[in-house]
Amino acid sequence: MSTIPDKPGRVSVEERLFSLVLALIATEIGLTKAEILSTVQGYRQRYAVGGDNASLERQFERDKDDIRELGIPLETVEPPDDPGSNHHLRYRIPKGLYELPADVSFSADELMLLKLAATVWREGSLSGESRRALTKLNSLGVDSTDPVLGYSPTLRVRDASFEPLSKAMDRGQIVAFQYLKPGEGTPRRRRVAPQAVVLHEGRWHLFGTDEDVQATRTFLLSRIVGPVVSVPGATFVPGGAGKGQEALAELDALWRANLAEIAVEPGSDAAVRLSKRQAVEQGRAPGESTVALHYTDLDILADELAGYGPEVLVRSPPALRAAVLARLVRVRDAHADPQAPAGAAPSDRAEEGTR
């Protein structure tokens, strides 16, 4: 009969986590923390009988979180005869909730489609989640041909706030972050109950309740300029499955309702790029150098249009016209050097000549 030799400090992270999952699946009534720390591989080697196990307990708390992050339903059970007692809490993983439902299966064609769906994400947390989901799918043993890779469009989620926000969303955790609102020069701290993360018109948006004004707000992930932190002790009840579609519908309605009319210099960067986003004509027949654009946020569009400098002239709405002009004036004045005469950039003039 062989047993695992005790090797203090030599048990790898994955072996400890794997052993913990096995032990908690195998138990019906659950194991207490003391039982886990003293018997499970990876903990027992470091367990001091009758001694101080504070760091080991913290390790267990982190492991528990990590295991739950992987979708494993690690449950806490209160003893019926001693409710509210922290000491006799038991931990277990109910097999029925751990396993894929028996009636779920995937065909080879479906698997191929899912593999393709996973390749949409090029990097970042969604690609990691996709990769682990595919590993789980592969355990079903269905053989499928690999999708033709490389030519499918792929998406990058660069915004660092994406992962902490989606985690907070799952946990019903209220978060705080510095938000640099388009059109403003300095960021402000926001406290938000995150409800959904939505990719709309090529931008990632956070949809949630702004806790300070108790109203629903939409935030651009790219404008979250600091770390996303948990607000200690502040939680909310997630809105459930419909929140994402609700957010999308709101953004869509907003986008359709807003229409800007913009004159573009023929042949310029603005003309080439903006004309590809041309909205369906709305009765008026603008000349060929005018484009009509739908938009969701006036300040975001104003930022973008200001970047085009003299290549665009906003015709309407007036608020957008004013916003773009104000930005251009601000940039012009911020770069005014008394020692340099206007138009002192010869290389620029040459390039401007192509307009």
DSSP assignments along 227-241, one per residue: --EEEEEEE-----T
Taking each helix axis from N to C end, the angle separating 13-26 and 54-69, rounded to the nearest 10 degrees, works out to 80
Among 193, 260, 262, 306, binds other proteins (CB under 8 A): 306
The 8 Å CB, 24+ separation contacts for 79-86 are none
- SS3 string, 189-219, reads EEEEEEEEEEEECCEEEEEEEECCCCEEEEE
39 to 58, contacts with other proteins by CB under 8 A?
39-41
Amino acid at 141: G
195: contact with other proteins by CB under 8 A: yes
DSSP state of 70: T
Burial, 14: exposed, middle or buried (Cβ in 10 Å; 0-12, 13-18, 19+)?
Answer: exposed
- 83 exposure class (CB count in 10 Å sphere: 0-12, 13-18, 19+): exposed
Number of residues binding to other proteins, judged by CB under 8 A: 162
Q: Which of 34, 229, 253, 257 binds other proteins (CB under 8 A)?
A: 229
Binding mask 147-186 for other proteins (x = CB under 8 A): ---xxxxxxx-x-x--xx-xxxxx--x-x--x-x---xxx
For residue 340, the minimal CB distance to other proteins (Å) is: 5
Q: Which residues contact 233 (CB under 8 A, 6 or more apart)?
A: none
CB of 133 to other proteins, least distance (A): 4
**Residue 217 binds other proteins (CB under 8 A):** no
Q: Is 3 helix (H, G, I), strand (E, B) or coil?
A: coil
Q: Which stretch binds other proteins (CB under 8 A): 46-54, 81-89, 98-106, 209-217?
A: 98-106
Q: What's the closest the beta carbon of residue 308 comes to other proteins, in angstroms?
A: 7
Q: If binding is defined by CB under 8 A, does position 17 make contact with other proteins? A: yes
Question: Considering only 52-60, 84-92, 211-219, 237-245, which stretch makes contact with other proteins by CB under 8 A?
Answer: 237-245
Contact between 200 and other proteins by CB under 8 A: the answer reads: yes
90 scored as a contact of other proteins (CB under 8 A) = no
As measured in angstroms, the least distance from the Cβ of 301 to other proteins is 11
Q: Which stretch binds other proteins (CB under 8 A): 51-59, 81-89, 211-219, 306-314?
A: 306-314
Among 228, 260, 292, 298, binds other proteins (CB under 8 A): 228
